[in-house]
Structure 1
Amino acid sequence: MAVAGVATIGAPAFAQAPPAVPTTSKVYRATVDKINDLVHTKLDVKFDYKKRYLYGKAWITLKPHQYPTDTLRLDAKGMDIKSISVIKAGRATPLKYVYEDSLQLNIKLDKVYRNNESYIVYIDYTSKPNELKAKGSAAISDAKGLYFINPDGTEKDKPTQIWTQGETESSSCWFPTIDKPNQKTTEEISMTVQSKYVTLSNGKLISQKKNADGTRTDTWQQLKPHSPYLFMMAVGDFKIYRDKWKTVPVDYYLEAKYAPYAKEIFGDTPEIIDFYSKILGVDYPWDKYAQIVCRDYVSGAMENTSATLHGEYVQATKRELLDAYFSQGQSTIAHELFHQWFGDYVTAESWSNLTVNESFADLSETLWAEHKYGQDAGDAHSYQDMRNYMGGRGNDKKDLVRFYYNDKEDVFDGVTYQKGGTILNMLRTYLGRETFYKGLNIYLKTNAFKNGEAHQLRLALEEASGKDLNWFFNQWYFGAGHPVVTIDYKWDAATKTQSIYLKQTQTGQIFTLPMFVDIYSGGKKTRHAYWMKDASDTISYKLDAKPELVNVDGDKKILWAKTDNKSLEEYVFQYFNAPLFLDRNEALTAAIANKNDKGAQRVLIAALKDKYFGLQQRAISALDPTNADIRATALPVLKQLAQSDANNLVKAAAIAALGKLKDQTNLPLFKTALGSQSLSVQGAAFVAMLPIAKDEATAALKTMDKESQEALQTPLIGLYLETGTSAEWPMIKSKISGDVQNALPFFRQLPGYLGRIDNATYVQEGVAILKNIGVQFKSQGAGPLVINLLTTLKAARATKNDNASVAAIDAAIKEIGN
């Protein structure tokens, strides 16, 4: 699963205010005992749109796992149970059962069964998901399993859909099962729907039957076993784009509006399947691969076996995709696809071991970025993962494999995902790529269509490498935290000795850290292998002359918080001579902190043309084009980038930088850029024009197509929030009210605007918008941040004697805090 706004993908919107650290449970979360094993699940379902009910019939084939038993316990949440029977020779024999708390069925079987005997239990039931009180998480905002979207057709411009979400244990909200990840079952689902709708489920569509009442029954069959949480259904008015990988169908299900862009959105999928199949040595293991985009999805995306469900954010028009360079949507496509091996083909045996699903999916984003876009792109993505992990308060207190937690939903976090993915990338570097992939192949083949855990991963990698890896797994998988390391240097001219002093200062365990130390001297680089095993260590090298640079962790893959006390001169050398993204990023950070230094300015100017666009953007943002020391050198480069750089995001950043000058001579450049197909370039040009040619810019906006007009509303609202008055509030409100997502790009600017305008009614409308953000995204850490923003706003309104708004702000703060 990819988590919208958090997981796998970019910094969370509320990274400055991470959620509170949950209290660690003292209860050991053992893997659930297997008393009965699921073998096959056959479902026949119909939908009642008015009541939001599913009418279901289930035929569940089971057998005892090992020991004889005459009882069966099934998860079935919030259902009406009409009958339960055992089926033998086509005849149904009723069974006695107790429905405990409307959550579990405790069924008395007709006899004692042994593990060489299977039996079929038939259940006639009604699922009522909207009447079920289900707890979600930061990753999954709701847990009722089955979702009716606009079932009455009363919401304008929203399609009618049905879809399911099984992870973690919500499949049992719509069919009875043993809803645990260590169960595996084959499946057959027959869905009766209105003939105008398309259906999707796991496996193959084996039949479609037209019914006399205008409905149609579609039957989907999945004959390779998988876990119940990976079952899925989707129903709606979708357009299907047919693609393929070799002979495997690869299909994309989209609403009509985005159907023309299906190939642009999902078109890399066959190439990604091919890449993953090759590095893993295991061909894509399922009968088909489908991706569907649904409305109001409760998470980012979900890796249902052979049928991934995406939230709306993955959709984009052709023009929007011009600015998508491994965007959140694209990384999610890669993430969910890797789950088809790690998560679906081999499934974590318990939620404690969730990281053997999610860390690999997280790593896969880096692998695909590296393969498709180059080493810098992969390294930048991995670095962002590390930052996301470290930005989560309390993450350093959690084990990666977590046997103690309050709720299974708590395990879906930056430790399981981003820390796990970063650790795997470290392991790939330590073992070497060929050996690492060989180990993954052993893990997958050994545990195919079964369950796995961290120990089995370790054994597979040990078999591949011939190395003992207990030390690595003990500290990274079964321990918490990360190294916090200070690095100092000393050159002894008399003895021609370079000394390096390393010190781990974190609380808790001392980490063993294999690394390379690269020494740049006399025009060449020499690499030295080194293992840090103690809290403090000193290493020394005899050299012919003082080195220009000592680069500790030359591969730049260690997960650590590092204070590297190099001189600015050494960082300048590092930018121009060390090869990796992080080498250059570290040097750029030092240059930004010392902008008045001539060497730092050389780095900033050079970084404008860095080979990785992310560093170009960073350098452009850091430059002050009004600074006389660099203006003459920087301006020609910025103009060149603004006009002809191959990357639209770099173009847009350069235009934005030139816009800060408010120079009329740049107006022709901005006007040309205003005609770009790139929405980012257009937006930057529009903002740059507003201070120097507002009438011309707004007149041009009226002549543009609808897509440009909608896109340019964002920078226009941003400008109004910075400089506008009460007169602009009706337009601002029309764009940011309603769906709380509409306000997210602007919520940090909103208090400043509300603090200065003169209409108290408008202020209170804005306070309500901020309150809704704080409440809805409280689980993701928004609460404290929004409260701080409201507190600042309260002070501003108090100086205006706006008591009504102050009271509204106090009420909002109280509601967020509860």
Structure 2
Amino acid sequence: MEMTRKAVPDFTKRINFMKKNLTILSLLALSLTSAFAQTEEKADTAWKHEYRATPEKTHALIHTKLEASFDIPNSQLKGNVWLTLKPHFYPSNTLVLDAKGMEIGYVGIQKGANRTKLDFTYDGLLLNIKLDKVYKNNEPYTVYIQYLAKPSEFKSKGSNAITDARGMYFINPKGVEKNKPTQIWTQGETEATSVWVPIIDKTNQKTTQEFYLTVPAKWVTLSNGKLMSQKPNTNGTRTDYWKMDQPHSPYLFFVGAGDFAVVKDSWRGKEVNYYVDKEYASVAKKIFGLTPEMMTFFSKITGVDYPWVKYSQITGHDYVSGAMENTTATLHSDAAHQDARELVDGNNWEGTIAHELFHQWFGDYVTTESWSNLTLNESFANYSEYLWDEYKYGKDRADATHYSAMQGYLGSGSEKKDLVRFYYSDKEDMFDAVSYNKGGRILHMLRNYIGDSAFFKSLNLYLTTNKYKTAEAHQLRLAFEEVTGKDLNWFFNQWYFGAGHPTLDITYSYDDASKKAMVVVKQTQKDKLFQLPVAIDIYNGSNKIRHQVWVKNAVDTFSFDAAVKPDLINFDGDKILLGVKKENKTLEEYIHQYKYAGLYLDRREAIDFVAKKQDDAKAVAFMKEALNDKYSGLRSFALTKLDLKKAAVIEATVESIAKKDPSRITRSRAVEILGNLKKPAYKALFTSLLNDSSYTLSAAALTALEKIDATAALAEAKRLSKQPMKGNLVEAIATALIKSGDESSFDEIIESYSKMGVTQAKFNLTSSLANFLGIIKNTEKVKRGVDEIVQFRNAIPEQFGVTPVIDSFLKTVIGKKETAKKSGEDVTALQEQIDYIKSKLKS
């Protein structure tokens, strides 16, 4: 699963971290980080003594047959389910099923065409069934249950990654929300499938399935497996029959239905489909179209061809996470929807698409046997984003992904959490920066240690040995050991069954008398020492000599022969270590590192250090070179570090980037910098970029123009507001209109705000909108603006800690209205506005 990032994730995608967007708000990302860090402090500490064992298997699921029809306005499912099971080992005459918040109408044993009623008890969560006899483990039996599921009435607890756990979601079921379609979709992870179908809702169960779904005839459906038939009914509905012949876990069950456009693709003769809102049908292949190539790539590196009968992806409105890897039927947040102009800047959902697809191997084909072992699902999916970027776009792009994910973990306050965790407050707590980001970085280190060939052969052995089964981390270790011939207990004990990361203080020196280069490495973290196989590279000019060493002690000293003082000693030459390091390199050494070591992180470290020295002419010359880096991400990074007050000689270079850099994102950064100079000479440039096909570049140009000619910027904002717009451009236009203080612009502003997703840009705009509402006199407009802000606030999970921040914006509006009352304005209208705002506050 991808956290609302990229989970991890940022505030939206994969929170992509995410489960599953570590891309929404930087503030929310910070709140998420804080939530991760504080989880243990807020929880009852009794959980620290409760070992989370793999669920005991008393019965084994074999097959699930479901007939489901939907009462859409009332958000209910009317179901008939036949579960075929057998005792796992010991004979049994009782069966306990997970069934949350249902009305159970009938339970019986099904034998051929005959059905016999069974006694049962039900407490709203567990359905305890007395079977008709004692069954042995070689005796399958089928239980029939007639029931009514009421998921919208079930009160559930979500998590940082999955913000709600009702299992089945009816979106706009009464059709009262304009501009939002009516849809049904399900979210089973962790144990929410049992809100809409009685089941043994545990990861260590595997079952085949048949689903008969009755929906309005104009709708399309999606479920696991293959669509076998469609039968029109006389009442304006249609029944679709989906069949899944390969076993998978109940949390991966999926039902999706609505008035979607279905854009067809294929991979080696298998169906590949993209279910999107109809307005995005024309760009669906631009969003999802790399899927077949990803399937080929992942099949190649794992040595296991995509193992399922088809692969479909569907977008759901109001989704409670980033994306979810339901077997053969991945569900994405509607944040995946991007129009053609957004895609000019690149597909910001591509990493999530790769993440969820890789789950079809790691998570669906082989599944974690317990949430304690979630790393077997999520760490691999997280690392797939690196693997895909490396293959498709090159090592710089992949290493940038690696660095970002590592920072997500390091900033999460998760130093005390093991990767494989047998003690936790709630299973939902496993979906964090450790299971995702840290786990992915650990795989990266393991790959570097054993080599690519052994790494991918080990993955193949793990997958083929455990196919259609569940596994724990030890089985992964055994696969790596069998392939490599190495005892890897030290690695798994340290990284999988241990917590934390190294914090290293590294000093370099050279003894001219003994002709020795010295590297002293101190581990300064508390509680444990790490064993770290590390490459140390010694440079003289472009010549590099590599030394492989092991860091094991609190202080390790390494000495190397060197005829002359090295130009650079580079610890962790492959830049793969997960940890924090402090080094005593000089300006000259960092410049040498940038030029000759050359990896993404080598260059980023150099830019970061040298940017602090822009009083030095050598640093300024270096920054000019960095602005021409081969990788656009580092050109952008260098721009963010540039101080034109100290490096005025580089202004012409920045102007050149703004005009013609291949990356519009990088051009946007350059425009922002030039805008901050407030020079009228750049007005023509900014004006020329307002109509660029990139929303991001157009937005940067409008914001820059406002700083030198507010009147012209307002006129352009009004013109642009009449055109389709998304992304940063919405924020830039609305900001310009708000600054004007012109109440006649309210409709354009509020429409723009309303159409924005749950994004950083919308959060940035909320404070400005609140200030604007403070000066608006029309009560109905004030109420509508407040309603939009409240709707945005309520769409953000409370655990992100943003609710009081947005409420503080609303309280600012109250303060302005109170001040206006004192000045003798329309007291009655103002008091009505104040009372209305107060009624909407949560904090």
Q: Give TM class, smaller chain.
A: over 0.9
Verify the 8 A CA contact 2:774 2:816 in the aligned structure 1: no
Aligned-residue CA RMSD (Å): 3.1
Alignment of 1:483-494 (within 5 A): 483-494=502-513
Structure 2 CA distance for aligned equivalents of residues 545 and 754 of structure 1: 64
Match of 2:191 among 149, 169, 191: 169
Given the alignment of the two structures, is residue 142 of structure 1 paired with residue 160 of structure 2, yes or no?
Answer: no
TM-score (norm 1): 0.92
Tell me the CA shift for residue 166 of structure 1.
0.6
Match of 1:657 among 659, 662, 673: 673
Alignment of 1:309-708 (within 5 A): 309-324=331-346, 327=348, 329-393=349-413, 395-625=414-644, 627=645, 630-632=647-649, 634-704=650-720, 706-708=723-725
Given the alignment of the two structures, is residue 129 of structure 1 paired with residue 151 of structure 2, yes or no?
Answer: yes
791-800 vs 651-660, which moves further: 791-800
- Paired amino acid for 2:39: V
Tell me the CA shift for residue 712 of structure 1.
3.0
Given the alignment of the two structures, is residue 716 of structure 1 paired with residue 704 of structure 2, yes or no?
Answer: no
Structure 1 CA distance for aligned equivalents of residues 815 and 76 of structure 2: 50
Report the 3-state secondary structure (helix = DSSP H, G, I; strand = E; otherwise coil) of the residue aligned with 2:29.
coil
383-392 vs 679-688, which moves further: 679-688
Structure 2 CA distance for aligned equivalents of residues 444 and 249 of structure 1: 23
Report the 3-state secondary structure (helix = DSSP H, G, I; strand = E; otherwise coil) of the residue aligned with 1:525.
strand
Report the 3-state secondary structure (helix = DSSP H, G, I; strand = E; otherwise coil) of the residue aligned with 1:274.
helix
Verify the 8 A CA contact 1:671 1:685 in the aligned structure 2: yes
Report the 3-state secondary structure (helix = DSSP H, G, I; strand = E; otherwise coil) of the residue aligned with 1:253.
strand
Structure 2 CA distance for aligned equivalents of residues 487 and 787 of structure 1: 44
Structure 2 CA distance for aligned equivalents of residues 363 and 795 of structure 1: 48
Structure 1 CA distance for aligned equivalents of residues 68 and 836 of structure 2: 49
What's the counterpart of residue 267 of structure 1? Answer: 289
- Paired amino acid for 1:714: E
Tell me the CA shift for residue 569 of structure 1.
1.8
Match of 2:178 among 153, 156, 167: 156
Structure 2 CA distance for aligned equivalents of residues 431 and 228 of structure 1: 35
- Paired amino acid for 1:706: Q
Given the alignment of the two structures, is residue 191 of structure 1 paired with residue 213 of structure 2, yes or no?
Answer: yes
Deviations 1:208-252 (A, max 9, x none): 111122211110000000000101011110111110111111000
CA 1:71–1:746 in 2, change beyond 3 Å: closer, same or farther? closer
Report the 3-state secondary structure (helix = DSSP H, G, I; strand = E; otherwise coil) of the residue aligned with 1:257.
helix
What's the counterpart of residue 21 of structure 1? Answer: 39
TM-score (norm 2): 0.90
Alignment of 1:240-251 (within 5 A): 240-251=262-273
Tell me the CA shift for residue 193 of structure 1.
1.2
Tell me the CA shift for residue 667 of structure 1.
2.9
Structure 2 CA distance for aligned equivalents of residues 40 and 354 of structure 1: 25
Verify the 8 A CA contact 2:696 2:727 in the aligned structure 1: no
CA 1:603–1:780 in 2, change beyond 3 Å: closer, same or farther? farther
Structure 1 CA distance for aligned equivalents of residues 713 and 161 of structure 2: 41
Verify the 8 A CA contact 2:260 2:277 in the aligned structure 1: yes
Match of 1:70 among 93, 103, 106: 93
- Paired amino acid for 1:371: Y
What's the counterpart of residue 93 of structure 1? Answer: 116
Structure 2 CA distance for aligned equivalents of residues 127 and 742 of structure 1: 30
Counting matched residue pairs gives: 808
Report the 3-state secondary structure (helix = DSSP H, G, I; strand = E; otherwise coil) of the residue aligned with 2:415.
helix
709-718 vs 279-288, which moves further: 709-718
- Paired amino acid for 1:87: Q
Verify the 8 A CA contact 1:770 1:786 in the aligned structure 2: no
Verify the 8 A CA contact 2:59 2:95 in the aligned structure 1: yes
CA 1:717–1:675 in 2, change beyond 3 Å: closer, same or farther? closer
Deviations 1:34-78 (A, max 9, x none): 111000000011111132211111111101111111111111111
Structure 2 CA distance for aligned equivalents of residues 517 and 600 of structure 1: 26
- Paired amino acid for 1:660: N
- Paired amino acid for 2:56: D
Tell me the CA shift for residue 639 of structure 1.
2.5
Verify the 8 A CA contact 1:190 1:220 in the aligned structure 2: yes
Deviations 1:115-153 (A, max 9, x none): 111111111111111121111111111111111111222
Structure 2 CA distance for aligned equivalents of residues 728 and 525 of structure 1: 66
Tell me the CA shift for residue 670 of structure 1.
2.4
Match of 1:54 among 77, 91, 94: 77
Verify the 8 A CA contact 1:771 1:812 in the aligned structure 2: no
Structure 2 CA distance for aligned equivalents of residues 709 and 412 of structure 1: 30
Verify the 8 A CA contact 2:696 2:729 in the aligned structure 1: no
CA 1:749–1:127 in 2, change beyond 3 Å: closer, same or farther? closer
Tell me the CA shift for residue 666 of structure 1.
2.5
CA 1:592–1:522 in 2, change beyond 3 Å: closer, same or farther? closer
Verify the 8 A CA contact 1:655 1:684 in the aligned structure 2: yes
Structure 1 CA distance for aligned equivalents of residues 248 and 285 of structure 2: 29
Verify the 8 A CA contact 1:639 1:654 in the aligned structure 2: yes
Report the 3-state secondary structure (helix = DSSP H, G, I; strand = E; otherwise coil) of the residue aligned with 2:497.
coil
Deviations 1:738-774 (A, max 9, x none): 6895574254576589689974989998999888777
- Paired amino acid for 1:16: L
CA 1:752–1:505 in 2, change beyond 3 Å: closer, same or farther? farther
Verify the 8 A CA contact 2:78 2:149 in the aligned structure 1: yes
Structure 1 CA distance for aligned equivalents of residues 445 and 271 of structure 2: 35
Structure 2: state its 5+ residue gaps. Answer: 10-15, 823-829
Tell me the CA shift for residue 407 of structure 1.
0.8
Verify the 8 A CA contact 1:498 1:542 in the aligned structure 2: yes
- Paired amino acid for 1:2: E
CA 1:314–1:784 in 2, change beyond 3 Å: closer, same or farther? closer
Structure 2 CA distance for aligned equivalents of residues 525 and 166 of structure 1: 52
Match of 2:56 among 33, 36, 41: 33
- Paired amino acid for 1:244: S
CA 1:283–1:84 in 2, change beyond 3 Å: closer, same or farther? same
Structure 2 CA distance for aligned equivalents of residues 610 and 77 of structure 1: 56
CA 1:738–1:694 in 2, change beyond 3 Å: closer, same or farther? closer
CA 1:486–1:184 in 2, change beyond 3 Å: closer, same or farther? same
Structure 1: state its 5+ residue gaps. Answer: none
CA 1:779–1:530 in 2, change beyond 3 Å: closer, same or farther? farther
Report the 3-state secondary structure (helix = DSSP H, G, I; strand = E; otherwise coil) of the residue aligned with 1:258.
helix
Structure 2 CA distance for aligned equivalents of residues 154 and 57 of structure 1: 30
Verify the 8 A CA contact 1:743 1:769 in the aligned structure 2: no
- Paired amino acid for 1:536: V
Report the 3-state secondary structure (helix = DSSP H, G, I; strand = E; otherwise coil) of the residue aligned with 1:251.
strand
